[in-house]
Structure 1
Amino acid sequence: MSGQEFHGRIGRTYDESEPWWPEQTRAPDDAPNVLMVVLDDVGFGQLGCYGGLVDTPNIDRLAENGLRYNNFHTTALCSPTRSCLLTGRNHHSNAMAAIAESSTGFPGYNGHIPHENGFLSEMLVEEGYSTYAIGKWHLGPAEATSAAGPYDRWPLGRGFERFYGFLGGDTDQYTPTLVYDNHQVEPPATPEEGYHFTEDIAQRTIEFIGDAKQVDPDKPFFTYFCPGACHAPHQVPKEWADKYAGEFDMGWDEAREQILKRQKELGIVPENTDLSPQNPDIVPWDSLSAEEQRLYARMMEVYAGFLEHTDAQIGKVLDYLEELGELDNTLVMLVSDNGASAEGGPTGSVNENHFFNNVPESLEENLEAMDGLGGPEYFNHYPWGWAWAGDTPFRRWKRESYRGGASDPLVVSWPEGIEARGEIREQFVHAIDLVPTVLETLGFEAPDEVKGVAQSPIEGTSFAYTFEEPDAPEQHVTQYFEMIGTRAIYHDGWRAVHPWPFGVPITAEDLSATTLEDSGWELYHIAEDFSEAHDVASEHPEKVLELAQLWWTEAGKYDVLPLDSRGVERLAEPRPQPGKPRNTYVYYPGTQHVPENAAVRVLNRDHSITADVTVPAGGTEGVLLAQGSRDGGYTLFVENNRLHYVHNYIGVEEYHVVADEPLPEGDISVRMEFETTGDPDIPNGEGAPGTVRLYYGDEQVGEGELPKTVPIMIGIIAGLSCGKDAVNAVSDVYRDRKPFAFTGDIARVTVDVSGEPFVHEEAELDRIMARE
């Protein structure tokens, strides 16, 4: 029941009794709604109202009716920042040092946000707010995102009453892996029918808000709206990209000049701001071939169309709130979770799974894909030159602690509560500051308990004082940064940065001089050098020492240690699984989207897949088991009544093995066995080679060689499915017939990863005879 003490009277009969109803929890009269919009991989210099070259009229109108902050900082990576935005605690305090897929077994790194770090949703739902999460989540342990749960760190377990979106780091915009509340659902339409994820979640947001408002118009809402944009894949209907045809032919060097000029005209940066120095990783635009320039410009056109398309969907939500008469009394906070992304590498990518598997891109293959970029066939990402330009005027990008990775847009609009219009604020603000700002604005104290769990202190500082006081002294004066080994510290107008090469492990020897003679730190006087253009470490060694020591102090407070700068190896780190360790996994028809961390792991080891099926008269077809997507994976299926196995190597090549004879009718066990024939070459993006053998019962009916396999990650947008290839087909063989459901009956599919190779007696005899 309610838990409230009964204040009526209970007699022997109704006529001598007095009823009493528990009081409803209601927000104060005229309490504002809260809409937090979190963009993905959008740099400081990409929105129109921040001087960017992309039209963002709806975000711009928020800025015109509110405030823009030019000194807002994030953690430089998505999940860590999002944990800060929702808890008001630092990312290591949230155990979110990096994304959950690269979690490690240390308090600041394990990916399990403690329940003592309550979410804003958990606080506001107890104050009478409706709470909705829409779009990207990426805040739960990677091993807990399957149907086995546990669900306590899914959105509905963290105070949100409704959820519609995806649980991982990114998804295909045309064929997303969707979760509705606590269960998986299929997209409501297909790409051929015009489906796009960002459009879907905008409409779903409108529905969620409308469902409650039409019943209880006075009940305020907290809506956490997180499109997957503009994270890869950069996917948008062609007409949106075509609008920008030719707009980026000048290249990224000139784009930076144009953006900085616009930023100065808008007053978003000080007039004396210099462009940060040439990034040594970036090839000058003029040195590229005409073909490279044409391809890279088109990749940026697609990104620009993607961002403007996202802005249009945000506009739909804002228009709806205006129609309801709610927009003026809605506190809107729009941010990006980190700087622009360089994960496309120097040449861009048509399949970002290359990056996660150490597989290089091919310019020739990318040129062939150019006309289809932005469409459902590709998982594309622009070259890192555009990320550099998108972070103008700063250096570097996402995943690094320079301002290019950690300085992002923040737009705040609340017409009924903030008188200022179109103004800029320069005080230092961090992602941990949004929660205390919302609480102060709404008049709530941070709770001592959430669901009976004693709460840790909020670590952020409210910036509500800046709403009407543009020149007020900043109140958040010290903030540490750490991301995959790169470090920084802000204190009172100064910023020290310690870069570190991504993927190069930090050793104890590297840190041997970090007490009194710490080396490698750069120093920037942000109060005078907005863009971190001028390293003054040699001029102020005492300030370097002061800030370096301050960083170690802050690191000790917030569970930052141990420093871990490993890259893809960290993605492959062993971590908890949903069930106990086992050698046998059994799947049943209807199973779909089991995430990679929760599914059987077959990479680089001997394994077998056995399907117990019933073949009807006339034969059968369809998928028995598939894991991955068009960008990499494997699938065991039947076509033309023959067993097939396809290993999709990172979307580059499909290795196909087919049975020599058709399936017999009736009950039968069909099997694929993979035997490794060599070691994987992980640094060069090649998994273990092997031999595939196909069986009907005990009879071998096919054999083929796989010269290389997926080395690290099977896929990033689709999981494992049984009985069909759900949403995004692994193989070209049946892509036009997806999901290519099996038309016979499947009793079960068993995957054995005991590692013991199947003994082929004839082959073994041949081997022995050859060595005789």
Structure 2
Amino acid sequence: MKAEDMIDRIDEIGTELHFNHFPAGWAWAVDSPFQWTKQVASHLGGVRNPLIVKWPAKLKATGETRTQFLHVIEIAPTILAAANVPEPRSVNGTAQTPIQGKSFLSVLDDAKAPEVRTSQYFEMFVNRGMYDKGWWAASLAFEPWDPVRGEFDPTKAKWELYNLDEDFTQSKDIAAENPEKLEELKALWWAEASKNKALPLDWRGAERFSAEGTGKPNLAGGRDNFTYKGVLAGLPESSAPDLKNKSFSVTAKVKVEENANGMIFTQGGNTGGWAFYLKDGKLKAAHNYIDVAVYSFESDAALPAGEHEVKMDFAYEGGKEMGKNGTITLSIDGQPAGSGAIEQTTPFKYSLSENQDVGMDTGTALSTDYKAPFDFQGELEEVVVDLKK
């Protein structure tokens, strides 16, 4: 999203209405003096982190720095060595893969100690880096804020080369002056990636957040019908029925008084998802499209007091394409009660932290039409979700 697209909602930024994150420009700025940001494993701005160690009982050095190259895989071996605990080879009868890291207690004891890690490969979203004895080869494939990536040939991607002993900020690319060294590190990267099972490379962006699209395990996978009795709180999205890119319906048996309020069913929150609820007696449905637009619909008339079967039916019209449009239809006791069009739906993931709830909303409100937790007023006998693939 561009800055001009946010101007109309600038006063909302930083409030509970949105999933707040500082802009990419600031992410880069706070990584100074290094290039790039989180997710860019090709450059130190994406992988370098500080480490502070305090152990007064054993370490004589205080207020000193160390410049030896280390990797996060060294942390566990170092703690085990400090505690004089051997690395476990088996846990509850299951053989363990040996830890690849090495203890760096020697570096803590002596600022001039040799590096315990002289070579290390990096990869994330095909942004690749290779460190070897002071040299660093880097290949940037995609900017992390670019979700649309298309086809990519990693064998033809550009590589950069830096000598960290002379240029620790990676400010001068010396690939042209050292072609043989660059080819050596490129070949080493492919060998390390193969050995560490990083291949085949996956350069997709937002698509990788789709559990169905990537085949990630899901406790709800392989099922089309889900019945929930009474109130349900906090079912993770990854364990809930996947409502994305398909038609589905939510049917509930309720008993209410006049002008009842409360959440019947919700999945997601203020960054994307669905809500099916009562507000001042009227049946309502809403879809939040990645916090860019909220499509809301309500029944033509209020729900009378008594026992009813209410339904939200979504007919997806995008075929096999992702994130397309569809039509919402509300019904009360089998009779149509209202409908409307949704121009675009959330294609990959509703939230990094929200859940599915029945009878309440334990996360952020999906729309400003209600305030969480928005407990259901009345009796909620059951809620049935049907997926239509």
TM-score normalized by structure 1? 0.47
Q: 2:289 aligns with which of 622, 635, 649?
A: 649
Which residue of 1 is the match for residue 100 of structure 2? Answer: 459
The reply to whether residue 559 of structure 1 matches residue 197 of structure 2 is: yes
CA–CA distance in structure 2, aligned partners of residues 592 and 575 of structure 1: 23
Q: 1:591 aligns with which of 229, 232, 249?
A: 232
Which residue of 2 is the match for residue 34 of structure 1? Answer: none
Which residue of 2 is the match for residue 450 of structure 1? Answer: 91
Which residue of 2 is the match for residue 743 of structure 1? Answer: 377
C-alpha contact 2:161 2:173 (8 A) present in aligned 1: yes
Helix, strand or coil for the counterpart of 2:301?
A: coil
C-alpha contact 2:285 2:297 (8 A) present in aligned 1: yes
Q: RMSD value over aligned CA atoms?
A: 2.2
CA–CA distance in structure 2, aligned partners of residues 364 and 749 of structure 1: 40
After superposition, what is the alpha-carbon deviation per residue over 1:207-255, rounded to whole angstroms, capped at 9, x for unaligned?
xxxxxxxxxxxxxxxxxxxxxxxxxxxxxxxxxxxxxxxxxxxxxxxxx
CA–CA distance in structure 1, aligned partners of residues 175 and 111 of structure 2: 31
After superposition, what is the alpha-carbon deviation per residue over 1:443-487, rounded to whole angstroms, capped at 9, x for unaligned?
111122112111221101111101120011112101111111111
C-alpha contact 2:316 2:326 (8 A) present in aligned 1: yes
The reply to whether residue 545 of structure 1 matches residue 193 of structure 2 is: no
The reply to whether residue 698 of structure 1 matches residue 341 of structure 2 is: no
Q: 2:20 aligns with which of 361, 365, 380?
A: 380
Q: Give the direction of change, closer, same or farther, for the CA distance of 1:468–1:366 in structure 2 (3 Å limit).
A: farther
Q: How is 1:215-364 mapped onto 2 (pairs within 5 angstroms)?
A: 347=3, 362-364=5-7
CA–CA distance in structure 2, aligned partners of residues 640 and 498 of structure 1: 57
The reply to whether residue 504 of structure 1 matches residue 145 of structure 2 is: no
Which residue of 2 is the match for residue 625 of structure 1? Answer: 265
Helix, strand or coil for the counterpart of 1:648?
A: strand
Which residue of 2 is the match for residue 103 of structure 1? Answer: none
CA–CA distance in structure 2, aligned partners of residues 642 and 389 of structure 1: 49
After superposition, what is the alpha-carbon deviation per residue over 1:605-630, rounded to whole angstroms, capped at 9, x for unaligned?
222110011234x4532111011112
Which residue of 2 is the match for residue 581 of structure 1? Answer: 222
Identity of aligned pairs, percent? 36
What displacement does 1:649 show?
2.6
Helix, strand or coil for the counterpart of 1:424?
A: coil
Which residue of 1 is the match for residue 174 of structure 2? Answer: 536
Give the letter aligned to residue 581 of structure 1: G
C-alpha contact 1:646 1:654 (8 A) present in aligned 2: yes
Which residue of 1 is the match for residue 345 of structure 2? Answer: 709
CA–CA distance in structure 2, aligned partners of residues 658 and 588 of structure 1: 25
Helix, strand or coil for the counterpart of 2:239?
A: coil
What displacement does 1:556 show?
2.0
C-alpha contact 1:584 1:754 (8 A) present in aligned 2: no
Q: Give the direction of change, closer, same or farther, for the CA distance of 1:570–1:650 in structure 2 (3 Å limit).
A: closer
Q: Flag structure 2 segments of 5+ consecutive residues without an equivalent.
A: none
What displacement does 1:383 show?
2.1
After superposition, what is the alpha-carbon deviation per residue over 1:59-100, rounded to whole angstroms, capped at 9, x for unaligned?
xxxxxxxxxxxxxxxxxxxxxxxxxxxxxxxxxxxxxxxxxx
Which residue of 2 is the match for residue 391 of structure 1? Answer: 31
The reply to whether residue 662 of structure 1 matches residue 297 of structure 2 is: no
The reply to whether residue 369 of structure 1 matches residue 12 of structure 2 is: yes
CA–CA distance in structure 2, aligned partners of residues 505 and 702 of structure 1: 39
What displacement does 1:504 show?
3.3
After superposition, what is the alpha-carbon deviation per residue over 1:562-593, rounded to whole angstroms, capped at 9, x for unaligned?
11111111222232221451221222332122
What displacement does 1:506 show?
6.1
Helix, strand or coil for the counterpart of 1:624?
A: strand
Q: How is 1:108-147 mapped onto 2 (pairs within 5 angstroms)?
A: none
What displacement does 1:510 show?
4.5
Which residue of 2 is the match for residue 414 of structure 1? Answer: 55
C-alpha contact 1:346 1:383 (8 A) present in aligned 2: no
Helix, strand or coil for the counterpart of 2:74?
A: helix
CA–CA distance in structure 1, aligned partners of residues 91 and 321 of structure 2: 48
Q: How is 1:514-525 mapped onto 2 (pairs within 5 angstroms)?
A: 520-525=158-163
What displacement does 1:653 show?
3.2
CA–CA distance in structure 2, aligned partners of residues 483 and 652 of structure 1: 27
Q: Give the direction of change, closer, same or farther, for the CA distance of 1:648–1:577 in structure 2 (3 Å limit).
A: same
C-alpha contact 1:610 1:751 (8 A) present in aligned 2: yes
Which residue of 2 is the match for residue 611 of structure 1? Answer: 252
In terms of fraction of residues, the more helix-rich structure is 1
What displacement does 1:393 show?
1.2
Q: Give the direction of change, closer, same or farther, for the CA distance of 1:525–1:731 in structure 2 (3 Å limit).
A: same
C-alpha contact 1:506 1:564 (8 A) present in aligned 2: no
After superposition, what is the alpha-carbon deviation per residue over 1:41-66, rounded to whole angstroms, capped at 9, x for unaligned?
xxxxxxxxxxxxxxxxxxxxxxxxxx
Q: Give the direction of change, closer, same or farther, for the CA distance of 1:585–1:431 in structure 2 (3 Å limit).
A: same
TM-score normalized by structure 2? 0.91
Helix, strand or coil for the counterpart of 1:627?
A: strand
C-alpha contact 1:679 1:689 (8 A) present in aligned 2: no
Q: 1:428 aligns with which of 69, 74, 94?
A: 69
C-alpha contact 1:505 1:564 (8 A) present in aligned 2: no
Q: Flag structure 1 segments of 5+ consecutive residues without an equivalent.
A: 1-344, 348-360, 514-518, 756-772
C-alpha contact 1:481 1:487 (8 A) present in aligned 2: yes
